[in-house]
C-alpha cells in the first residue's frame, strides 16, 4: 500500500463511518417525526 493509498483509505473510513451514523440518525428522526404526526392527528 502506497502512502497516498494509506491516507485515502484512512480518511475514507473515518468519513464513511461518520456518514453512516448520520444516515442512521436521519432515518430514525424521520420515523419519529412520522410517529409524532400520527399522535397529533
Partner 1 sequence: MFYMIKGENMKKIYPIIIFLVNLAALYMIFLWAPPERTLGDSYRVFFIHTPSAWVSYLAFTITFLSSILYLKTRNFKWDLYASSSALLGLLFCIITIITGAIWAKVAWGLYWNWDPRQTTTLVLMLAYLGYISFRMAIDDKEQRARVSSVLGILAFISIPLSYLSTIILATIHPMPLIPTSKLQIGVEPTILQTLLTSTFAVTLLFLWMFYITVEMYRTIDTIKSVKMENVK
Using CB under 8 A, list all residues that contact partner 1. 1, 3, 6-7, 9-11, 13-14, 17-18, 21-22, 25, 28-29, 32, 35-36, 39
Task: State the CB neighbour count (10 A cutoff) for residue 18.
Answer: 10
Helix H or strand E segment including 7: helix 3-40
- Give me the least distance between CB of 4 and partner 1, in Å please: 8
| Cα angle value 36/38/41 (rounded, 5°) | 110
- Give me the least distance between CB of 41 and partner 1, in Å please: 13
- Give me the least distance between CB of 22 and partner 1, in Å please: 7
Amino acid at each position: 500500500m502506497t502512502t497516498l493509498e494509506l491516507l485515502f483509505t484512512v480518511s475514507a473510513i473515518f468519513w464513511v463511518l461518520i456518514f453512516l451514523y448520520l444516515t442512521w440518525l436521519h432515518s430514525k428522526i424521520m420515523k419519529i417525526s412520522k410517529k409524532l404526526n400520527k399522535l397529533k392527528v
